[in-house]
Amino acid sequence: MGRLFGTDGVRGVANADLTAELALGLSVAAAHVLAEAGTFEGHRPVAVVGRDPRASGEFLEAAVVAGLASAGVDVLRVGVLPTPAVAYLTGALGADLGVMLSASHNAMPDNGVKFFARGGHKLADELEDRIEQTYRSHASGEPWDRPTGAGVGRVRDYDQGFDNYVAHLIGVLPNRLDGLKVVIDGAHGAAARVSPEAFARAGAEVVTIGTEPDGLNINHECGSTHLEKLRHAVVEHGADLGVAHDGDADRCLAVDAKGNEVDGDQILAVLALAMREAGSLRKNTVVATVMSNLGFKLAMEREGVDFVQTAVGDRYVLEEMKAHGYALGGEQSGHVIVLDHATTGDGTLTGLMLAARVSATGRSLADLAGVMERLPQVLINVRDVDKTRVKSSPELTEAVETAERELGSTGRVLLRSSGTEPLVRVMVEAADIEQARTVAQRLADVVKSALG
């Protein structure tokens, strides 16, 4: 049986892979592991539990709450809120752990369970492993040590969570958004109420789409994975910009006044220069992944901002930031982490900070995003090959070296083995799209012949 915890908690098809029994068992196991680790020492433990609006979140929330309370943990149920809101409230309320039920940008049938440690930080891998081991041992028959009487956890709704989180967002903004017109696509997800409210309180005129969740329509043809409706709405309403979230609102992509996409790399570039100007870009460094467009790296070099790359995944970005004290990092997908104000990617905060930069400078988003030129990027997935030999094939090494010489300083080659499928990803960037396509196809053919 494979590992339950992935890079972002436990995910699967709700009521098939992720059952009520599994959610309950993991919650009980988490309570026991954290108690053994000394997290609850000397006080009655408290957990913050939130969810996105998926229909399955209703029964999974009930299972998680039941599991925690049965293990002696008091529960503050904050309802439908973004993942970063649950992380923030976990820290702000001094809770011992937080639990978020969401499958982020995944389709509606999926759901997930994600645990936060005290302070709202991601749970350490070692603790996740112990939770999984503890869950498996008890799932096979070992009885739990259960409290009784006054020892059981108490459950109450914490209705102030929404206002507390929005107030936090407004409180960290460098300036107001008066005079800006913003379209918000909430992906019929966890930010459907929060994001429009935050932008309105900050002074923006707000137009909303994707803000009517019914439990079944989350991420459906809307949000950060489907920008078409946002592009149309921004142009139709003559807005200054649009922002799009995913289902749990830990990411943000944007659209300029003409309907052109502004991706995570461009948002990072804009915020990096804004934070440097404000003196908050610690060590004059921004963190991104190897999948960031080469145009981002070239722009940061030109602007004199240091650039650190990590493996793909916001968890690796966050680890690098925490290890070296950096303030800003993110991914092309729109996961942007501003570590002074959030412990995880926060789509609403990102959108607000981007809009604040537009407001403060009086420049259009297109003009600001123009600090970097996105070089054409071609990605080819080569299937049914031995991905374990990517780094050991002489034929492939030679082909990559030849391609890199051909592309020079304005191009880049990246070969990555998929972590979940039997395939190798070939990514090529070049100043010219036709050159990128030609080189990418040539490398894909070599991957097929050398590793097939």
CA separation for the pair 269, 338 (Å, rounded): 13
Which one-letter amino acid corresponds to residue 397?
Answer: T
Residues in the chain: 452
Show the beta-strand stretches assigned E in 27-168: 46-51, 74-80, 97-101, 110-117, 155-157
Angle between helices 56-70 and 20-36 (to 10 degrees): 40
Question: Is 445 labeled as ligand-binding?
Answer: no
- Catalytic member of 56, 104, 292, 333: 104
What is the three-class DSSP state of 86? helix
Question: Is 250 labeled as ligand-binding?
Answer: yes
CA separation for the pair 190, 213 (Å, rounded): 8
Which two three-digit tokens encode residue 246? 């995913």
What is the three-class DSSP state of 413? strand
Backbone angles phi, psi at 429, to 5 degrees: -115, 145
What is the three-class DSSP state of 12? strand
Nearest to 289 by CA among 275, 266, 308: 308
Which residue blocks in 15-55 are alpha helix, DSSP H? 20-36
User: Sign (positive/negative) of CA torsion 127, 128, 130, 131?
Assistant: positive
Question: Is 314 labeled as ligand-binding?
Answer: no
H/E stretch holding 85: helix 83-92
Q: What is the DSSP string of 141-174?
A: TPPP----GGGS--EEE-TTHHHHHHHHHHHH-S
Integer angstrom CA distances of residue 161 from 84, 89, 167, 169, 215: 12, 7, 10, 12, 21
Cβ neighbourhood burial of 146 (10 Å; 0-12, 13-18, 19+): exposed
The DSSP letter of residue 6 is: B
For the question of residue 104 being annotated catalytic, the response is: yes
Which two three-digit tokens encode residue 164? 């507390």
| Close Cβ partners of 277 (under 8 Å, ≥ 6 residues apart) | none
**Letter string b/e over residues 326-343, b meaning 16 or more CB atoms within 10 A of that residue's CB:** bbbbbbbbbbbbbbebbb
Nearest to 255 by CA among 294, 227, 215: 227
Question: Is 104 labeled as ligand-binding?
Answer: yes
> What residues form the annotated binding site for Mg(2+)?
104, 246, 248, 250
Give me the active site residues, please: 104
User: Which residue ranges make up the annotated binding site?
Assistant: 104, 246, 248, 250
